[in-house]
């Protein structure tokens, strides 16, 4: 069976990478950009780091800053109208997962207008045309949305998030510049970093995993374990390491899928507007405990990548426990809450959450088969912390 691997046409990494936007715009003959971002990134002058470069080089643009966390169907539709009115021929998405996902939705609909309702893009939609070109500038080290073929939109009317998987949506250029991430506060750095770790661990253990993706995901786990604590303290080397780590796992999980951590996290954001990284981070160790019996020797390699010593001398139960403990310790060190109760989840909602998790596209990739009853038990453990 053939295995597909899709990546950006071009990506730039390291300090100062954002300046390469000019190179790409000129070489590709783009005329005018719609910048897709959120109001806070404008307010805190993160977007200005890009617009100053555009202004200096006399490259025209307009700004759409109506994106919000967990972007909704309505936000995407407003973005489509903004793009049409702007006269733009490409987009620059500046931000974490929310602006990137919004730009993907806009770009797909502009060139595939039959999906203007947005909700019909759920799953693997039969789009025929590539998105409007997107240059994706990451400002968080977590979602890797700048290199994935996935995006997530919230249907606020039905209180649900849905995942779209479309090779036509991948940004043509990714800019992964740690300088664009330096203004992230500690809490956001921790949450997005644990989101990246979840991607790497789920991508490594998902049913679709294979050797090329495994190599990338193990390296990503190593980079994240080594650099997240430093990044939370705004250490430049830690920022650079996390920028690379989250991108490396993005390359992998985009092509092999995820699992029930994400399947369970998406309903939390839909129900409570919980930040996606926090939802993943809280759930990850509980799901690892659930999945352990179906992971073969993979937890040994996760433990090794997390920095655990002497894993080859451990029995299977020992290295599985060591991997989970290493994840819990990293999560605790960067200030992630331990339970769902601590982040405002209501006990009476757990059954509805389990039902929603079973409908999520990510759940099907989980290494251990899931049922509503099993997922509910994991939610209960995560709620109580035991």
Tens of pLDDT, residues 20-66? 999 999 999 999 999 999 999 999 999 999 999 999 999 999 999 99
Mean pLDDT score, 365-386? 96
Same domain, 69 and 133: yes
- CA distances 275 to 147, 172, 190, 228, Å, are 20, 27, 12, 18
Residues 299 and 340 reside in one and the same domain: yes
Return the pLDDT at 158: 86
What pLDDT does residue 69 have?
Answer: 87
In a domain, 373, yes or no: yes
CATH number for the domain that contains residue 321: 1.20.1090.10
Task: Read off the pLDDT of residues 193-249 as tens digits, 9 standing for 90 and up.
Answer: 999 999 999 999 999 999 999 999 999 999 999 999 999 999 999 999 999 999 999
- How large is the average pLDDT for residues 250-257? 97
Q: What is the mean pLDDT of residues 256-276?
A: 94
Cα–Cα distance measured from residue 250 to residue 254, given in angstroms and rounded to the nearest whole number: 6
102 three-state secondary structure: helix
Q: Are 90 and 36 in contact (CB under 8 A)?
A: no
Q: Give the residues across from 173 on adjacent strands.
A: 10, 135
HEC assignment per residue over 6-24: CCCCEEEECCCHHHHHHHH
357 plus 229 within the same structural domain: yes
**What phi and psi, each to the nearest 5 degrees, are found at residue 323?**
-65, -45
Phi/psi for 135 (5° steps) reads -100, 115
**What is the span of the domain harbouring residue 41?**
10-181
What's the pLDDT at 386? Answer: 77
Backbone angles phi, psi at 161, to 5 degrees: -105, 145
The confidence score (pLDDT) of residue 202 equals 98
The pLDDT score that the predictor gives to residue 1 is 78
Give CA–CA dist 219/217, Å, rounded.
5
Do 271 and 341 belong to one domain?
A: yes
DSSP string, 281-326: HHHHHHHHHHHGGGSTTHHHHHHHHTT-S-GGGS-HHHHHHHHHHH
DSSP 264: H
Q: Residue for token digits 């999906």?
A: 115
| Residue 241 lies inside a defined structural domain of this protein | yes
Q: Do the beta carbons of residue 214 and residue 51 sit within 8 Å? A: no
Task: Output the pLDDT for position 157.
Answer: 86
pLDDT class of 149 with cuts at 50, 70, 90:
very high
Q: Are 183 and 44 in contact (CB under 8 A)?
A: yes
Residues 166 and 301 in one domain: no
Task: Please write the tens of the pLDDT for every residue from 277-290.
Answer: 999 999 999 999 99
Alpha-carbon gap, residue 43 to 166, rounded angstroms: 32
pTM value surpassing 0.85: yes
Residue pair 285/277 in contact (Cβ under 8 Å)? The answer is no
Residues 328 and 366 in one domain: yes
Number of domains in the chain: 2
The last residue of a domain, from among 181, 201, 219: 181
372 in the same domain as 234 = yes
| Tokens (6 digits) for 106 | 């806009």
Identify which of 198, 215, 220, 210 has the alpha carbon closest to the alpha carbon of residue 362.
198
Taking only the tens place, the pLDDT of each residue in 289-326 is: 999 999 999 999 999 999 999 999 999 999 999 999 99
CATH of the domain at 72: 3.40.50.1970
Q: What is the 3-state secondary structure (H, E, C) of 25-91?
A: HHHHCCCCEEEEEEHHHHHCCCCHHHHHHHHHCCCCEEEEEEECCCCEHHHHHHHHHHHHHHCCCEE
Q: What's the first-to-final CA gap in the chain, in angstroms? A: 41
Strand locations in 68-171 (E)? 90-95, 134-138, 150-155, 160-165
- Tell whether 354 is covered by a domain: yes
Q: Report the C-alpha gap between 320 and 301 in whole angstroms.
A: 10
Query: Rounded distance, CA 361 to CA 214, Å?
Result: 21
Q: How far is Cα 38 from Cα 95, in angstroms, rounded to an integer?
A: 8
323 & 373 share domain: yes
Which of 124, 156, 181 is at the close of a domain? 181
Whole-number pLDDT of residue 256: 97
Let me know if residue 2 belongs to a domain. Answer: no
Instruction: Return mean pLDDT, the chain.
Output: 96
Asked if pLDDT for residue 17 goes beyond 80, the answer is yes
Share above pLDDT 70 across residues of the chain, in percent, rounded to a whole number: 100
Arithmetic mean of pLDDT, 355-377? 97
Residue 93 forms part of a structural domain: yes
Q: CA–CA separation, 205 vs 193, rounded Å?
A: 19
Pair 289, 153 in one domain: no
Domain shared by 134 and 254, yes or no = no
């Amino acid at each position: 069976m053939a295995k597909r691997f899709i990546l950006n046409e071009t990506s730039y990494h390291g300090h100062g990478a954002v300046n390469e936007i000019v190179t790409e715009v000129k070489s590709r003959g783009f005329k005018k950009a719609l910048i897709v971002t959120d109001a806070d990134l404008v307010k805190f002058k993160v977007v200005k780091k890009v617009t100053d470069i555009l202004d200096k080089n006399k490259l025209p643009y307009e700004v759409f800053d109506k994106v919000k966390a967990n972007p909704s169907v309505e936000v995407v539709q407003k973005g489509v109208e903004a793009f049409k009115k702007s006269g733009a021929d490409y987009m620059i998405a500046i931000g974490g997962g929310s602006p990137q996902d919004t730009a993907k939705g806009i770009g797909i609909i502009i060139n595939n207008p039959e999906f203007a309702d947005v909700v019909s893009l759920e799953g693997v939609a039969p789009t025929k045309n590539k998105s409007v070109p997107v240059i994706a500038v990451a400002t968080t080290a977590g979602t890797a949305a700048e290199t994935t073929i996935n995006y997530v939109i919230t249907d606020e009317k039905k209180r649900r998030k849905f995942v779209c998987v479309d090779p036509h949506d991948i940004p043509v250029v990714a800019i992964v510049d740690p300088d664009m991430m330096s203004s992230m506060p500690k809490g956001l750095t921790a949450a997005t970093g644990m989101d990246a770790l979840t991607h790497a661990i789920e991508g490594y253990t998902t049913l679709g995993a294979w050797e090329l993706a495994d190599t990338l995901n193990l390296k990503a786990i190593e980079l994240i374990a080594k650099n997240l604590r430093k990044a939370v303290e705004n250490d430049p080397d830690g920022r650079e390491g996390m920028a690379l780590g989250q991108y490396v796992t993005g390359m992998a999980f985009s092509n092999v899928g995820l699992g029930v951590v994400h399947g369970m996290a998406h309903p939390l954001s839909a129900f409570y507007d919980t930040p996606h990284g926090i939802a993943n981070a809280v759930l990850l160790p509980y799901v690892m405990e659930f999945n352990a019996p179906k992971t073969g020797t993979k937890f040994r390699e996760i433990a090794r990548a997390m920095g655990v010593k002497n894993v080859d001398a451990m029995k299977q139960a020992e290295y599985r426990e060591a991997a989970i403990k290493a994840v819990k310790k990293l999560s605790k060190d960067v200030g992630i809450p331990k339970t769902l109760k601590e982040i405002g989840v209501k006990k009476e909602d757990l059954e509805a959450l389990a039902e929603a998790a079973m409908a999520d596209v990510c759940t099907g990739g989980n290494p251990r088969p899931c049922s509503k009853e099993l997922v509910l038990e994991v939610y209960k453990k995560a709620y109580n912390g035991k």
